Chains A and B, each alone.
Chain A
Amino acid sequence: MTIDAMTLTLFLPLFGAMAAFVLPRAATGIGLVTVLATCGAVWLLALEVLKAGAVITPLGGWEAPLGIALRADGLSLAMLAMTSGVGLLVSLGALNALRDLRQRQYFWPLWLLLLTGMNGVYLGTDIFNLYVMIEVIALAAVGLTVLSGTKEALRAGLEYMYASILGALLFLMGVGFVYLHLGRLDFAGLLEAEPSGALSAALALMLVGLLLKTALFPLHFWLPAAHANATAPASALLSGLVVKAALYIFLRLTTYMPLPDEILVTLIGALGAGAVLWGGVQALRAERLKLLVAWSTVVQIGLIFIAFARAGQVGLTESWKAAALLILAHGVAKAAMFLAAGRIKDELGHDIIRDLDKSNIRPTLAQFTFALAAISIIGLPPSLGFIGKWTLMEGAMAAGYWHWVVVTMIGTLLSVAYFSRVFAGFLRFDRVRAPVGEHQGWALADVAPLTLAIASISLGLMAAPILSFLELGYALGVMP
């Protein structure tokens, strides 16, 4: 039995999930070991990709298009690394955040199945297989959404499931039509296809399904409630990682089957602009901290699509890198932010923004973590978020598309405004006369979110190697 690194990346979390499910008492230990081992497998795979560029395994020994091949290149690896790295720290954060025995038992199998699904998406090269993977992700993600067991979470989870299944169904219909036209389902087949109106319509069905799953305005309606009402580690996973899977498929598909018209690229950018403005206003109005963070996810998703559209159709060969940087930046920072918000809520007993400064308990380190993560999400230097936004605007300016720069600027100002509401609550201005309680301001549970927040800042200093890593193995464009 000799197993390659790509198979390990997929099968380790799968077996971990099964083990954690049948042995619920040992679920926590099994879960942590599995996530750590998956990080190791991704590391091994990264070494192979650094050496060889793109790595391909035809599963079952059957070559595509009959069989299904797994393929790893710089972009897939960056996504895998983000998923397992953020996943490991969120797992550590979950140790403290999940108090209820039932939650602790069920969190691990669901999260590990989610990891299996996401790793499968990042290694997939076959659109039907991608459909199956997003179904795995959808069910595990809905399970995580309702893990907190509150009525609001159940309601939001049901709405999320409807949206998610509708999105997957649209994607599947598109896949069916692509097969009808091309007789194959692999990426290479898409790349060779003659563009036609019918094929574009099939692509459009798939893309709309993906937009629904990734919650681009105006198809974001399910996201805020679902992400705000989940338990903190689940929110971190859903907001930081899960929405990125559909985004990644979007990036791949639009490269192999280019959008047929400049207007469509602009339309996608315009929807992104809508998300930035609408999400920004809603975040300004949100009354609860977690809801504000969830709306900020809607904004960031919009921003990623603006990055995608920043230089029009011609610029797509470069624009995906700006989008990928923003995806990575948001994944790390948002996970940190949701974990920190969860810590603040745990300590204060509530997360009402207006009353943040009225408590005599002061979770200083969690608040500091939140602020660090906000720096990356707002896009202040030297964070990874800054590099992402800078790349976005640089490309837009070079192409002369100043409107995208203006929207990005407005979005940045809005994000400063809505995060300032939270910061103002962190600074006490002595509204509480009572002495600060015995709370020392930090706890061991703050370590995981703090590490993530520091990573979201310091990864900005490594932007150049990350960018060159993304290009390994001709991530997009040339296949295979």
Chain B
Amino acid sequence: MTDPFLILDLLLAGAVIALAIATLTARDLFAAIVLFIVLGLLSALAWVRLSAPDVALAEAAIGTGVTGALLLKTLHHLRYVAGTLGEQAAHGVTPVTPVPMSVIWANAAFCGLITLGLAIAFLDAPLGGPGFDALVADAMPASGVDHGVTAVLLNFRSYDTLMEVVVLLAAVIAVWQIERGLSEAPAPDLSVIWQGFARLTLPAIVVVGTYLLWKGSEAPGGAFQGGAVLAAVGILLLLSRLYVPHPSHRALARWGFVLGTGVFAGVALLVTGGGRVTFEYPPEHAKTLILLIEGLVTVSIAVTLAALFHGREPVALRAKEAGHDA
């Protein structure tokens, strides 16, 4: 008897591979990005079928949603800069030179070797090998939450998670410090309908994001997924020009970026003492502390992702800088 899901799985696997090939071979960058977004959505489905709903949510919200928005924004910017010839000369945007064959062959050899390594590592792998499952199940009662993934991310291995939030912080600092003399590419002209759409959907997105965060302690969801969904609020606000970043908002934004990392690291240090080491939450307060950390990390992730979408520190452009390379 064939499992009815088998057909779905086969279709899904085939579609993911076909979309990956289509994304890589698409000539038009816009088409490639749209294909990539579809690829992400189908991969999210694949994660669901692999019983990894947490990864599926992250893939859909971050890997597809936010990444797709970032890619489209970049494309818009590139087309704007490359599209005006005067600007092109001013900023030294040179036409792409063809890649020499030797480099292509070297790349192909490198990729071939990597694929070979992947194949060997994969073909010999045990199916359903050992993992943390038993260890996690044993330690769950002391974790303060009811969902295994959240327990691993925010208690057992919270050090890793803290440092992942730090990665995001490093990213936004690195982006902000790149000074761009040229003014921003003008936002696409959004009609009244879009502004109305934004007004209607914003409250719904806030509810969904908060729900994802809240559910995280007992079911799939959590800070990264919730934060990415809430970041969509920021992206919509930016796109519809309901919010325009201003230099005077910088201080607040900086606090927003570090809030999550600061509280996370601060709690990790404050719980020490009396025989407890860093990150060792007292079991009776574990749930409260984890929710506190998750909530504030969500805020930081949302603010940071929205700022990454905006892509620059909102500095006051002086008249003489507006048209020149700094």
Q: Within B88-145, which residues are at the interface with A (CB < 8 Å)? A: 92, 106, 113-114, 117-118, 120-126, 129-132, 135-136, 139
| 23 A/B residue pairs, CB under 8 Å, sorted by A | A1-B269, A2-B273, A7-B272, A22-B258, A24-B254, A60-B156, A60-B277, A60-B278, A60-B279, A61-B280, A110-B173, A110-B177, A132-B164, A140-B174, A143-B177, A146-B174, A147-B177, A180-B125, A183-B129, A183-B130, A196-B124, A199-B121, A201-B121
Residue of B nearest to A67 (CB): B156
Contacts known (A113-B170, A120-B163); A177 close to B125, Cβ less than 8 A: yes
Q: Within B144-198, which residues are at the interface with A (CB < 8 Å)? A: 155-160, 163-164, 166-167, 169-171, 173-174, 176-179
B136 touches A66 (CB 8 A): yes
CA distance A143 to B164 in the complex (A): 17
B177 touches A106 (CB 8 A): yes
CA distance A385 to B126 in the complex (A): 46
Residues from chain B with Cβ under 8 Å of A202 in the complex: 117, 121
B174 touches A143 (CB 8 A): yes
Counted as pairs of residues, one from A and one from B, with CB atoms less than 8 Å apart, the total is 185
Residues from chain A with Cβ under 8 Å of B118 in the complex: 173, 201, 205
**Which residue of the partner chain, among A1, A105, A179, contacts B272 with CB atoms under 8 Å?**
A1
**Which residue of the partner chain, among A105, A170, A173, A182, contacts B130 with CB atoms under 8 Å?**
A182
Additional pairs, 19, CB under 8 Å, beyond known A4-B277, A11-B265: A3-B278, A11-B268, A15-B265, A17-B169, A24-B254, A57-B277, A59-B158, A59-B279, A62-B155, A120-B163, A133-B163, A139-B174, A140-B170, A170-B114, A177-B122, A183-B129, A198-B122, A201-B121, A202-B117
**Which residue of the partner chain, among A67, A135, A147, A154, contacts B157 with CB atoms under 8 Å?**
A67
B123 touches A65 (CB 8 A): no
Interface residues of A (CB under 8 A from B): 1-4, 7, 11, 14-15, 17-18, 21-22, 24, 57-62, 65-68, 102, 105-106, 109-110, 113, 116-117, 120, 126, 128-129, 132-133, 135-136, 139-140, 142-143, 146-147, 149, 151, 154, 170, 173-174, 177, 179-184, 196-202, 204-205, 208, 218
A129 touches B159 (CB 8 A): yes
Interface residues of B (CB under 8 A from A): 92, 106, 113-114, 117-118, 120-126, 129-132, 135-136, 139, 155-160, 163-164, 166-167, 169-171, 173-174, 176-179, 251, 254-255, 257-258, 261-262, 265, 268-270, 272-273, 276-281, 325-326
Contacts known (A143-B174, A183-B132); A198 close to B159, Cβ less than 8 A: no
Residue of A nearest to B170 (CB): A139
Residues from chain A with Cβ under 8 Å of B270 in the complex: 1
Shortest Cβ gap from A69 to chain B (Å): 10
CA distance A170 to B169 in the complex (A): 23
CA distance A468 to B208 in the complex (A): 58
Residue of B nearest to A139 (CB): B170
B278 touches A102 (CB 8 A): no
A22 touches B265 (CB 8 A): no
B170 touches A136 (CB 8 A): yes
Residues from chain A with Cβ under 8 Å of B157 in the complex: 60, 62, 66-68, 129
Shortest Cβ gap from A473 to chain B (Å): 19
B139 touches A62 (CB 8 A): yes
Contacts known (A57-B278, A102-B177, A149-B179); A2 close to B139, Cβ less than 8 A: no
B126 touches A3 (CB 8 A): no
Shortest Cβ gap from B7 to chain A (Å): 27
Shortest Cβ gap from B256 to chain A (Å): 10
B272 touches A113 (CB 8 A): no
A66 touches B139 (CB 8 A): yes
CA distance A24 to B258 in the complex (A): 13
Residues from chain B with Cβ under 8 Å of A196 in the complex: 124
CA distance A136 to B135 in the complex (A): 28
Shortest Cβ gap from A175 to chain B (Å): 11
Residue of A nearest to B325 (CB): A151
Residues from chain A with Cβ under 8 Å of B281 in the complex: 60
Contacts known (A18-B262, A66-B132); A139 close to B167, Cβ less than 8 A: yes
Interface centre among A3, A58, A65 (most CB of B within 10 A): A3
Shortest Cβ gap from B106 to chain A (Å): 8
CA distance A200 to B155 in the complex (A): 32
Contacts known (A62-B156, A205-B118); A110 close to B174, Cβ less than 8 A: yes
**Which residue of the partner chain, among A65, A106, A116, contacts B173 with CB atoms under 8 Å?**
A106
Residue of B nearest to A106 (CB): B177
B121 touches A205 (CB 8 A): yes
Shortest Cβ gap from A7 to chain B (Å): 4
Residues from chain A with Cβ under 8 Å of B106 in the complex: 218
A135 touches B167 (CB 8 A): yes
Residues from chain A with Cβ under 8 Å of B265 in the complex: 11, 14-15
A7 touches B278 (CB 8 A): yes
B173 touches A143 (CB 8 A): yes
Shortest Cβ gap from B172 to chain A (Å): 9
Residue of A nearest to B178 (CB): A146
A59 touches B159 (CB 8 A): yes
Residues from chain B with Cβ under 8 Å of A143 in the complex: 170, 173-174, 177
A132 touches B160 (CB 8 A): yes
A181 touches B125 (CB 8 A): yes
A113 touches B121 (CB 8 A): no
Shortest Cβ gap from B185 to chain A (Å): 17
B177 touches A61 (CB 8 A): no
Shortest Cβ gap from A301 to chain B (Å): 19
Residues from chain A with Cβ under 8 Å of B169 in the complex: 17-18, 21, 113
Shortest Cβ gap from B11 to chain A (Å): 25
